[in-house]
Amino acid sequence: MKKLLASTAIMLALGLPAVAQDYTPDPAATAGGTITVTYKDDVATLDPAIGYDWQNWSMIKSLFDGLMDYTPGTTELRPGLAESYEISPDGLVYTFKLRAGVKFHNGREMTAEDVKYSLDRVTNPATQSPGAGFFGAIAGFDAAGEGGLSGVEVVDPLTVKITLSRPDATFLHVMALNFASVVPKEAVDAAGDDFGKQPVGTGAFKLAEWTLGQRLVFEKNADYWRAGVPFLDSVVFEVGQEPVVALLRLQNGEVDVPGDGIPPAKFMEVMADPAQAERVVQGGQLHTGYITLNVTLPPFDKLEVRKAVNMAINKERITQIINGRAVPATQPLPPSMPGYTEGYAGYPYDVEGAKALLAEAGLADGFETELYVMNTDPNPRIAQAIQQDLAAIGITANIQNLAQANVIEAGGAGTAPMIWSGGMAWIADFPDASNFYGPILGCAGAVEGGWNWSKFCDEALDAKAVEADSTFDPAMAADRLKMWSDVYMGVMEQAPWVPVFNEERYTMKSERMGGEDALYVDPVSIPVNYDYVWVKQ
Amino acid sequence: MAAYLLRRLIQAALILLGVSFITFFLLYVLPADPVRQIAGRSATAETVQNIREQLGLDQPFIVQYGRYLAGLVQGDMGRSYLQKTEVAELVWSRLPATLLLMLGAILCELVLGLTMGIVAALWRGKAVDQVLMITSFVTVSAPQFVVSLLLLYIFAVKLGWFPIGGYGTFSHLVLPAITLGILGSGWYSRMMRSSMIDVLRADYIRTARAKGLTRARIVLRHALPNAILPVIAMIGIDIGIFMGGIVVVESVFGWPGIGQLAWQAIQRVDIPIIMGVTLVSAFAIVLGNLLADLIAPLIDPRIKLR
């Protein structure tokens, strides 16, 4: 036991992943008030095991808690429902000590049984959770079903022990995912399939009203276990609002935060007006937009061709198409992600060099191919820019403008030679370098129906990725990041992607909104961290 | 009458069956896999297969369609794949808003369209006729999105007469209803104009004139009821055209109707919702046509239902 405690101490001190112990909310913050947030689409579901889009992601964060959490406005882990945790020296056993006296919205106290139930539920195939795969490292995952996970054990009402089948350096991040939220069994049983409409959690807010297609009202959880928060009495989500209309209403003082952001057509106008631009907060996000080059289809099976395409794309110009709301990308990882290779310039924009490479590949006259793209603005415009860039080196790319689902299908089936990822570009589920590899660049995703649309599979890189993720020892944190950096540099050498840009986030708010800027570009709560923002009366 | 009604109802049932078959088939052959959308990006092949089996999507087309119909007969429209909510509940919660908007819009269409048509017919060939006909042409071809935003900007943002989108009170209804009304009124004005011109040429109008009746009485009492007949049939057809426009107008004005629901479901390949909305729309069109046919004899006794 002593050894365990020692290892925890090291873990906390060295911080891999970085663990922040406390957070001091804005001292000027005042409690009370209601804010209005708008969205174009109705909310799909608030069931944490199922919800997996940007809209419900941050809502679920406010209704539920998991064992781990993030310091507001950052990507630093901090304990959530777990008061503390210990990790065994071999990195296989995590023992979480729960906070006492935490209550669900239905008034019942949360216990270790609930943690086990929640993890069993999300990994049970019958739940059809899109997040089940994240829990693959827990022992017994492959046999998960009605019997639950053998690796999750209730030690006493406030202690839960999770055994892994392999060391996983990202495990604490996984426990901070919405999918790992703790839910009460009786409420899930009572609501049946409708739990997503009648959510019960331990979060800072509880659902007070949901009028389908019109509005949702979150009400402050007066019994919230974290003292002092939330500041707001309630948050009203009005759905079915076109972004342009939402902006007009914001300008009219009726809306506090347009959830879908500033519509592209209005972006320049807003930024040109100092009074409005002042209320726009800018921040990085863990996003990369890229073009996939299908390495199994000729002529993209030739490395020279893939490199030539990389050199032909004018990333600066594409960034301008989206009003400069991004920075040109050089590699799969975005700059704010740990493991990003500083100083790597990527393939240069070099038309002549690209032509020379094509000639080297025996394709001096170019070739004809297809570029798949999702049919919502601005993606078709970006595809046209890519098309022009390719035409300059003799490649004729015919644009396939399709609905999202059809692009995903073509990508998974491996029939699309090139895909512009826009609209479906990769945004990290959790802030760790590994999250940009597995499904989209690893061999596991390069199967029929997988999300690795390049169908790129390099066994050596895969092995290195596994090694990096097994490096759970905090003392090796720097080595681990170096390993990941090497993996992504290895990927770039083989050029299955053209990384195009890393999107920046812009959140606009009304004059009455208070709280530090970081809360408005919170990496895990988009558009804002509802628990910590407040209103000036 | 009873025999006619029975025949029409059987016809309607067959049409709905046909619509359900065609829609289901098109969604079946669609190159997009709903299971992939449900399973998400981190799913293993086993998870995908498991979900496919749970939803019965691994079954042949005829089995899937048969199951859907069997459910439908018992009033079960299925459960949304992604929201995991009963489709019937989703549709019912949004239907009143759409019906209200439709009612308001048709009223606007009729008032605007008929007035324009009558005026144009009475002053046929004059400048006012030409202006009205050009207007009607512009209104039917104007993009719905642009008109919606223009009205919203002028009357809600600039003048502040109406709320900027939303739902709940009469003032919320005005702008979206007028938008749809303006856009659809062109058809009615053209139809009304030609129908009115035909009637005004008829012998009984000449007789009425010869009797020395006032122009207002001739138009309102004698010409209008006869000229309006083709317009009534058109309302039935119009419900079908409406469904397209309603998607856009509902989105702009934040009107919580089934147009919005359908659009979101199409984006996510949520097949049970797409099926549900399509069937409800088809039902509305069939019902609209049937009602138009039933009302016609009440206005013109010469029409017999056979």
CATH architecture for segment(s) B96-299: Orthogonal Bundle (1.10)
CATH architecture for segment(s) A28-62+203-279+509-536: 3-Layer(aba) Sandwich (3.40)
In this prediction, residues A428-439 reach a mean pLDDT of 90
Provide, as residue numbers in chain B, all residues whose Cβ is less than 8 Å from the Cβ of A50. 82, 84
At residue A465 the predicted structure's pLDDT band, cuts being 50, 70 and 90, is very high
Among B26, B33, B83, B86, the residue to mutate for chain A (most A Cβ within 10 A): B83
> Is the model more confident about A384 or about B233?
A384
Phi then psi for residue B36, to 5 deg, are -60, -40
Mark yes or no for CB contact B251/A438 under 8 Å: no
CA angle, residues A114, A116, A119, in degrees to nearest 5: 105
Give me Rg for the CA atoms of chain A: 24
Q: What is the pLDDT of residue B4?
A: 87
Neighbours of B150 (CB within 10 A): 12
Nearest residue of B to residue A56 by CA position?
Answer: B83
What sign does the dihedral A160-A128-A240-A518 (CA atoms) show?
A: positive
Stated length of chain B = 306
> Is the model more confident about A14 or about A156?
A156
Q: From the CA of A409, how many Å to the nearest CA of chain B?
A: 5
Provide, as residue numbers in chain A, all residues whose Cβ is less than 8 Å from the Cβ of B90. 212-213
pLDDT at A423 over 90: no
Q: What is the pLDDT of residue A204?
A: 97
**Per-residue pLDDT tens listing for chain B (306 residues):** 788 889 989 999 999 999 999 999 999 988 778 888 788 777 777 788 888 999 999 999 999 999 999 999 998 999 998 888 899 999 999 999 999 999 999 999 999 999 999 899 888 888 999 999 998 888 888 888 888 889 988 998 889 899 888 888 899 999 999 999 988 888 889 889 998 888 888 888 888 888 888 888 888 888 888 888 888 778 877 777 777 788 888 888 888 888 888 888 888 888 999 999 999 988 888 888 888 888 878 777 777 776
Provide, as residue numbers in chain B, all residues whose Cβ is less than 8 Å from the Cβ of A237. none
Mark yes or no for CB contact A130/B43 under 8 Å: yes
pLDDT at A6 over 80: no
In this prediction, residues A57-84 reach a mean pLDDT of 94
For domain A285-504, say whether CATH 3.10.105.10 is its number. yes
Residue with tokens 């659809």: B184
pLDDT at A11 over 90: no
Q: Which two tokens stand for residue A167?
A: 């060391």
Nearest to A354 by CA among A305, A417, A299, A294: A305
Arithmetic mean of pLDDT over chain A: 91
Contacts of B220 (CB under 8 A, 6+ apart): none
Burial of A280 (0-12, 13-18, 19+ CB in 10 A): middle
Mark yes or no for CB contact B54/A404 under 8 Å: no
Nearest to B134 by CA among B193, B179, B178: B193
* Domain boundaries, given as residue ranges, for chain A: 28-62+203-279+509-536, 65-195, 285-504
Nearest to A449 by CA among B4, B43, B286: B43
Domain limits, CATH 1.10.3720.10, in chain B: 96-299
CA angle, residues A323, A325, A326, in degrees to nearest 5: 125
Provide, as residue numbers in chain A, all residues whose Cβ is less than 8 Å from the Cβ of B42. 130-134, 429, 438-439
Query: pLDDT, tens digit, for every residue of A305-353?
Result: 999 999 999 999 999 999 889 999 999 999 989 899 999 999 999 999 9
Which CATH class for the A65-195 domain?
alpha beta
Of A213, A410, A439, the CB nearest to B41: A439
Query: pLDDT, tens digit, for every residue of A316-325?
Result: 999 999 988 9
Contact indicator for B253, A244 with CB cutoff of 8 Å: no
B76 in contact with A, Cβ within 8 Å: no
Nearest residue of B to residue A438 by CA position?
Answer: B42
Of B31, B45, B264, the CB nearest to A42: B264
A70, β-bridge pairs: A77
The pTM for the full model equals 0.88
Residue type, B277: V
Nearest residue of B to residue A213 by CA position?
Answer: B256
pLDDT at A364 over 80: yes
Provide, as residue numbers in chain A, all residues whose Cβ is less than 8 Å from the Cβ of B266. 403
pLDDT at A138 over 60: yes
In this prediction, residues A62-85 reach a mean pLDDT of 94
Q: DSSP for chain B, please give it.
A: -HHHHHHHHHHHHHHHHHHHHHHHHHHHHSS--HHHHHH-TT--HHHHHHHHHHTTTTS-HHHHHHHHHHHHHTT---B-TTT-SBHHHHHHHHHHHHHHHHHHHHHHHHHHHHHHHHHHHHTTTSHHHHHHHHHHHHHHHS-HHHHHHHHIIIIIIIS--S-SS--SSHHHHHHHHHHHHHHHHHHHHHHHHHHHHHHHHSHHHHHHHHTT--HHHIIIIIIHHHHTHHHHHHHHHHHHHHHHHHHHHHHHHT--SHHHHHHHHHHTT-HHHHHHHHHHHHHHHHHHHHHHHHHHHHH-TT----
Phi then psi for residue A289, to 5 deg, are -105, 135
ipTM, 2 dp? 0.84
Which residues 268-297 of chain B have a CB within 8 Å of chain A? 268-269
